[in-house]
Structure 1
Amino acid sequence: MAHSTVSVQSAMVLAPDNFKQNMWSTGVCDCCDDMGICCCGFWCTYCLMCQTSENFGECLCLPLLEICFGGILHPITFAMRSSMRERYKIMGSMQDDCCAVTCCPVCVWCQMARELKARRQNLVVINSTVHTIHQQPQAFNQQPQAFNQPTQAVNMGYQSPGYQ
């Protein structure tokens, strides 16, 4: 009977010393720090908003809901900024977020895009030692629990070569 080998690697993610985790990497008005993001925010604001939302792990179309508020209120921008601040443990308050969003929502989206870009580039992965685990192979004559009933496999139109 053959043995299989599984290698398990643990990794630790660290931010460099020059990366302050409790502060925004750039200010709201530091649009010129990244001209690509600045131009995208100026010429195609909703493209920047949707891309930033997706990069943050939210729905791509979420920022488009702000169209419903006629440009007067910016609840999605406020929610995204507050959520980003909480996720990355950035100092500030909801009052600060509200003031920034009310004054210049496009600048806030540019700041959030720069923050995501900075956090993506500044991560350092440190691998520790590799632990090798030897496992006995599983017997192939046992049926998985999902296919205990023969009619279930037939109804799905799937017949595995190892199962009868």
Structure 2
Amino acid sequence: MEGSVEWNESLFGCFDNCGICLCGWCCTPCLFGRNAEKIDDSNCCLWCCIYMCLTDCAICWYPHYMKRKLLRQKYDLREDPHCGDLFATICCGPCALCQEARFLKRQDEQPNDSMHLVPNTRQPGRNY
């Protein structure tokens, strides 16, 4: 299923957030675990360990690919036509993780519309 929303973060915009960039390059499994937790309430430590173990077998891209697809489905994101999910996770894994982390951070920072709804307690016909 093709999403309708464009990514608001570039795949190669790693330096847009230096903290995420450092985490992505120095502790890639940890960033993957944090992203997985935000995507579908997964266990951060479990996914960090899975990613770390699969790195030795050179197949850590597979769970990353699956979580990236979930992220796109959850937020109705369009897959990049030039650099699809599979290519991004295999060839640019840390960059893709940083892109996802920046996207998720931006989602966390956006206010939820329902949080700003104030119930109307005024009764009709009364002036306060």
Q: How does 1:107-146 map to 2 (within 5 A)?
A: 107-125=95-113, 126-130=116-120
- Residue 108 and residue 71 in structure 1: after superposition, are their counterparts in 2 closer, same or farther (change >3 A)? farther
TM-score (norm 2): 0.74
Deviations along 1:1-31, one digit per CA (max 9) or x if unpaired, are xxxxxxxxxxxxxxxxxxxx71112111110
Q: Which residue of 1 aligns with 2:19?
A: 36
The residue that corresponds to 2:5 in the other structure is 22
Out of 70, 82, 85, which is 2:56 matched to? 70
Deviates more, 1:58-67 or 1:105-114: 58-67
C-alpha deviations, 1:44-101, integer Å up to 9, x for none?
Answer: 11221222222222221124323236352211100110000000000117x8100111
One-letter amino acid of the structure 2 residue matched with residue 70 of structure 1? D
SS in 1 for 2:30: helix
Where does structure 2 lack aligned partners over 5 or more consecutive residues?
122-128
Higher strand share: 1
CA RMSD of aligned residues (A): 2.4
Residue of structure 2 in register with 1:9 after alignment: none
Report percent identity of matched pairs: 25
**Gaps in structure 1 of 5+ consecutive residues:** 1-20, 132-164
Structure 1 segments of 4+ aligned residues over 4 angstroms from their partners: none
Q: Which residue number corresponds to residue 74 of structure 2? A: 87
CA contact (8 A) 1:63 1:76 kept: no
Q: How many residues align?
A: 111
